Copies of this chain bind each other. A is one copy, B any other.
Amino acid sequence: MEDRTELSALGEFGLIERLTKDNKAVNDSTVLSVGDDCAVLDYKEKQILVSTDAMAEGVHFDMVYTPLKHLGYKAAVSNFSDIYAMNGRPKQITVSLSVSNRYSVEALEELYSGIRLACEKYGVDLVGGDTTSSAGGMFISITVLGEGNKGKIVTRNTAGENDLICVTGDLGGAYAGLLVLQREKAEWKANPAVQPALDDYDYVLERQLKPEAGKWLIDFFEKNGIVPTSMIDISDGLASEILHICHNSRKGCEIYMERLPIDYQTSRTLEEFKIAAETGALNGGEDYELLFTVAQKDYEKIKDCKDIHIIGYIKEENAGCKLITPQNTAIDIKAQGWNHYKKQ
| Interface residues, chain A, with chain B CB atoms under 8 Å away | 2-10, 12, 15-16, 18-20, 22-27, 29-30, 33-34, 38-39, 41, 43-46, 48, 50-60, 91-92, 94-101, 103-106, 108-109, 112, 116, 120, 123-137, 139, 141, 143, 145, 147, 340-341, 343-344
Contact = CB atoms under 8 A, between A and B. Distances in A.
Given A105-B15, A106-B5, A126 B92 contact: no
A53 B18 CA distance: 24
A105 to B, nearest CB: 4
Q: Which of A43, A95, A341 has the most CB of B within 10 A?
A: A43
Nearest to A109: B19
B101 A29 contact: no
A54 B141 contact: yes
A137 B141 CA distance: 15
A127 B30 contact: yes
B16 A132 contact: no
Given A96-B96, A137-B134, A137-B135, A39 B128 contact: yes
Tell which of A109, A131, A141 has the most Cβ of chain B within 10 Å: A141
B98 A7 contact: no
B39 A94 contact: yes
Given A6-B101, A56-B132, A134-B139, A50 B127 contact: yes
A3 B137 CA distance: 22
Given A91-B27, A123-B26, A128-B38, A133 B44 contact: no
15 contacts: A2-B106, A6-B101, A6-B104, A15-B108, A16-B129, A18-B109, A29-B147, A39-B92, A50-B143, A54-B97, A94-B143, A100-B344, A101-B344, A130-B141, A133-B343
Given A12-B132, A128-B51, A135-B136, A4 B106 contact: yes
A12 to B, nearest CB: 7
Given A98-B54, A141-B96, A23 B105 contact: no
Contact of A44 (B45, B94, B116): B45
Nearest to A95: B52
Contacts of A43: 43-46, 48, 147
Given A29-B92, A50-B143, 6 more contacts: A7-B105, A16-B131, A20-B112, A26-B123, A27-B124, A98-B139
B139 A9 contact: no
A65 to B, nearest CB: 16
A305 to B, nearest CB: 28
A141 B124 CA distance: 21
B94 A5 contact: no
A340 B99 CA distance: 11
Contact of A33 (B4, B22, B126, B147): B126
Contacts of A108: 7, 15, 19
A129 B57 CA distance: 18
A230 to B, nearest CB: 19
A98 B56 contact: yes
A20 B124 CA distance: 14
Nearest to A58: B135
B4 A104 contact: yes
A20 B126 contact: yes
A96 B52 contact: yes
